[in-house]
């Protein structure tokens, strides 16, 4: 069953005046090993007629299919253009600097591509990053970030790991990491990954706990 991560974009961009359009952003968060990179790889490989820019912390971990890569810059800026029209770049600078470069077209090292045509920006956070500060940054109504709009926060969770923590906590039914809890609480969409390695009862327990927590 597909998850329509870009539903808000599709509903709101079609009828918006050109002067009012902002670059929509989805923030993908989740703890280490939850499956964020797998999700991001799927999105850039299976875009739904959208020119997506993906900003990642560990570009090497994205492991993009070599057949998708159409061009790589020659200035070591950490940018790769894909044959399907998408773009991947590294979060080597601050998030604000990276977003501003994308908006300004500072990564225009390719002859056949204009980066001001980007439809959507997907940002993958580090597994140990508390997303609250990033959300606040993206929702600023002043400065450089006024040209972007936070569309959704997607939190990917390792179902097996969460189940183990809940079993260990017994009565409290909580997980130890405050960062992981913040990643869950701020989510618009929660994806429970690794369902195939838990039983149906274990999955139901985690699912119910997520519903109670969010």
Q: Tell me the per-residue pLDDT of 82-112, one tens digit each, with 9 for 90 and over.
A: 666 676 776 655 677 777 777 776 555 444 4
pLDDT digit string, tens, across residues 124-158: 888 888 888 888 888 876 677 788 889 999 999 99
- Give me the chain's average pLDDT, please: 76
Highest mean pLDDT among 8-17, 103-112, 190-199: 190-199
87: phi then psi, degrees, rounded to nearest 5: -140, 140
Which two tokens mark 90? 């590294």
Q: Per-residue confidence at 120, pLDDT binned at 50, 70, 90? A: confident
Better pLDDT: 202 or 112: 202
Instruction: Give CA–CA dist 198/210, Å, rounded.
Output: 16
Q: Which residues contact 185 (CB under 8 A, 6 or more apart)?
A: 213, 214
Q: What is the DSSP letter of 88?
A: E
Higher pLDDT residue, 76 or 87? 87
User: Is the confidence at residue 9, as pLDDT, over 60?
Assistant: no
pLDDT over threshold 90, residue 201: yes
Q: What are phi and psi of 70, to 5 degrees?
A: -100, -25
Angle at 82 between CA 112 and CA 40, to 5 degrees: 145
Max CA separation in the chain (angstroms): 60
More confident residue, 88 or 200: 200
Is residue 71 very low, low, confident or very high in pLDDT (cuts 50, 70, 90)?
A: very low
pLDDT at position 1: 43
User: Is the CB of residue 79 less than 8 Å from the CB of residue 107?
Assistant: yes
- Evaluate whether 48 touches 6 at the Cβ level (below 8 Å): yes
């Amino acid at each position: 069953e597909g998850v329509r991560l870009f539903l808000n974009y599709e509903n709101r961009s079609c009828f918006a005046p050109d002067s009012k359009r902002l670059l929509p952003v989805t923030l993908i968060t989740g703890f280490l090993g939850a499956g964020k990179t797998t999700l991001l790889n799927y999105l850039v490989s299976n875009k739904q007629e959208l020119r997506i820019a993906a900003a990642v912390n560990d570009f090497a971990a994205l492991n993009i299919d070599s057949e998708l890569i159409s061009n790589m810059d020659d200035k070591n800026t950490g940018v790769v253009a894909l044959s399907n029209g998408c773009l991947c770049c590294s979060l080597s600078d601050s998030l604000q600097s990276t977003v501003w470069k994308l908006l300004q077209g500072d990564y225009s090292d390719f002859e056949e591509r204009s980066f001001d045509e980007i439809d959507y920006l997907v940002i993958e956070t580090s597994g140990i990053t508390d997303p609250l500060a990033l959300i606040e940054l993206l929702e600023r109504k002043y400065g450089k970030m006024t040209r972007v709009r936070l569309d959704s926060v997607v939190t990917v969770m390792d179902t097996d790991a969460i189940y183990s923590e809940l079993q260990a906590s017994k009565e409290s039914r909580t997980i130890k990491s405050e960062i992981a809890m913040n990643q869950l609480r701020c989510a618009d969409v929660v994806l429970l990954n690794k369902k195939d390695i838990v039983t149906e009862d274990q999955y139901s327990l985690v699912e119910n706990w997520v519903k109670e927590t969010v």
